[in-house]
Amino acid sequence: MMTIDVETLRTWLEEGRPVTVLDIRPMHERVEWAIPGSIHVDAYDALKANDPKAFAEVELPGNIPVVTVCAAGKTSLVAAQQLQARGIQALSLDGGMKAWSLAWNIAEISLPSSQARVIQVRRTGKGCLSYFISVGKTAVVIDASLDPQVYLDLAHHYGWQIECVLDTHIHADHLSRSRRLAQMSGATLFLPDQTRVSFPFTPIHDGDTLEPGTATLTALHTPGHTPESTCYLLDQHVLLTGDTLFPTGVGRPDLAADADELERRASELYTSLRTLLALPPETIVLPGHTSTPVAFNSDPIASTLADIQEQVGVIHATREVFLQQILARIPPTPPNYERIVKLNEAGLLPERDVTELEAGANRCAIS
Ligand SMILES: [Fe+2]
């Protein structure tokens, strides 16, 4: 066997199995996104030139399998062959980083005083964060960004029935899997009230509550990142913020907005942040994205409103200064976001080339 698929490598990393992941891409590709714990060898040009000594200088730990990784799984095959010729147990990651986009891991948020359990499902290959909230056997999924089967398998593993599927907003950086997950699980699909999507859903408004088991999930309409953006507050102490507020930044207000709309949304974001920052400082914040690959370490990506108050200086500015600073710091737009938004508004999930469409790091935050 010459190759390893994403699911197998993901499982090895999750189980803590010894493996050396060898990233052979050029450095400028690696800095964009990488596999957590991987090591980099600058062998790309040598391998492309069929230089049989591409790894002559590289020392690798003995008796541990090596997985070679490139962008799409071709050059990494040449790399694995060369290492095998040296007697090393080497495998090439099938589909490369493009396929790795769908890799994931989980972390549980510790909530000692709550009957609810919250599991963060992290799409490590892309930075999208989705959540299971469960009480007893009832589960809610928020911002599903992976193959629906991942959530169905996790629910089965924990003995949960998915009853509600929610999104925080119409996403622009990944294809929402929420509609499909609701169809496959028989759950009710809730979306923030808006007229953007063209498929049936149950609208959720500011102040609405869902009651999974004995828990209460309250919707807080927080426009800014998008007009319909909504945060969900679990039992008054856990806040799922989508792309409105992150541990080190705030949501970008510019996608699919012209200059006037941009300024209006940035101002709305300012007002929405005031609403969130009025909650108790110990409130746990669980964001919808992270801008770096998520390690296989079971540490949740979370913060508290108190820590965010310290970390994110711009939220203390006056409205006028906030607007100036936000508009000056808008990052490059995510690739293909207009097509992704159209598909999410239509509720479509293409069968093929999903990772092609979703390529690129997350760029939903301004920090
Ligand atoms: Fe977003």
93-148 pLDDT, tens per residue?
A: 999 999 999 999 999 999 988 899 999 999 999 999 999 999 999 999 999 999 99
243 alpha carbon – ligand 1 mean position (Å): 5
**pLDDT at 365 exceeding the cut of 90:** no
Contacts for 329 with CB less than 8 Å, ≥ 6 apart: 366
Distance CA 227, CA 268 (A): 9
Angle 335-340-346 (CA atoms, 0-180°, nearest 5)?
Answer: 165
> In the structure, what pLDDT confidence band is assigned to residue 1 with cuts at 50, 70 and 90?
low
244 alpha carbon – ligand 1 mean position (Å): 8
Query: What is the predicted pLDDT for the residue at 62?
Result: 77
> In the structure, what pLDDT confidence band is assigned to residue 356 with cuts at 50, 70 and 90?
confident
Over range 347-355, report the average pLDDT. Answer: 89
143 alpha carbon – ligand 1 mean position (Å): 10
- DSSP H or E segment with residue 265: helix 259-277
Query: What is the predicted pLDDT for the residue at 38?
Result: 96
> In the structure, what pLDDT confidence band is assigned to residue 162 with cuts at 50, 70 and 90?
very high
Cβ neighbours, 10 Å, residue 298:
11
234 alpha carbon – ligand 1 mean position (Å): 20
152 alpha carbon – ligand 1 mean position (Å): 24
Q: What is the helix, strand, coil percentage profile of the chain, to 5?
A: 30, 25, 45
145 alpha carbon – ligand 1 mean position (Å): 12
Q: For residue 226, how far is the Cα from the chain centroid?
A: 17
169 alpha carbon – ligand 1 mean position (Å): 7
Read off φ and ψ for residue 188, nearest 5 degrees.
-85, 135
319 alpha carbon – ligand 1 mean position (Å): 22
Angle 342-348-354 (CA atoms, 0-180°, nearest 5)?
Answer: 90
Report CA-CA distances (Å) from 239 to 118, 230, 284.
11, 11, 6
6 alpha carbon – ligand 1 mean position (Å): 26
DSSP state of 289: B
Q: At what angle do helices 148-158 and 178-185 cross, to 10 degrees?
A: 50
Mean pLDDT of the chain: 95
14 alpha carbon – ligand 1 mean position (Å): 27
241 alpha carbon – ligand 1 mean position (Å): 11
194 alpha carbon – ligand 1 mean position (Å): 15
90 alpha carbon – ligand 1 mean position (Å): 38
18 alpha carbon – ligand 1 mean position (Å): 35
